[in-house]
Structure 1
Amino acid sequence: MFQDSPIYDRLVAECGDVPTQVRREAERLSRELAVVLPPLHAPGQGPGAERPPSPGAGWQRTALLPGPRPQ
């Protein structure tokens, strides 16, 4: 990641390679969660029941353009 960086090398020597440790822990947790929580699929894609619609589904906000409003 930080090649030829004496400051980074010194920090790693003093504190350990924290970014690598965090990355490994995140990967481990991700694997554990994949076992416990099945991945979510978009409706109509993949096995299982469809997800319930989110609140507000079916409406969309539109911007009002400047000028007179249509009747």
Structure 2
Amino acid sequence: MFQDSPIYDRLVAECGDVPTVVRREAERVSRELEAVMRPMLSSGRERPPSPGNGWQRTALLPGPGPN
């Protein structure tokens, strides 16, 4: 991704390749979710309801959680 970027190389050396780690973890979770959902979907049951109108994903702000 950032092949010739000394700043990125330094961050990777200090913190690890966070984008790659996150991508792998997301792929693993996706595979696990698919494996869990597959029997339910192939058993003839209806698909789980999708979120209706008004449903909105909200992001968590960084830092400590609410007290």
**TM-score normalized with structure 1 length:** 0.55
Matched, 1:28 2:22: no
Please state whether the residue corresponding to 1:12 is helix, strand or coil: helix
Partners of 1:28 and 1:52 in 2: CA distance: 21
Partner amino acid, structure 1, of 2:35: V
RMSD of aligned Cα (Å): 3.2
Partners of 1:36 and 1:51 in 2: CA distance: 13
Matched residue, 2:64: none
Task: Specify the structure having the higher radius of gyration (Cα).
Answer: 1
Deviation at 1:37, TM superposition (A): 1.4
Matched, 1:7 2:1: no
**TM-score normalized with structure 2 length:** 0.58
Aligned length: 51
More helix by share: 2
Relative to structure 1, is the Cα distance of residues 37 and 28 closer, same or farther in structure 2, using a 3 angstrom cutoff?
same
Q: Structure 1 stretches (4+) deviating beyond 4 angstroms?
A: 49-56
Partners of 2:24 and 2:16 in 1: CA distance: 13
Percent identity, aligned pairs only, is: 77
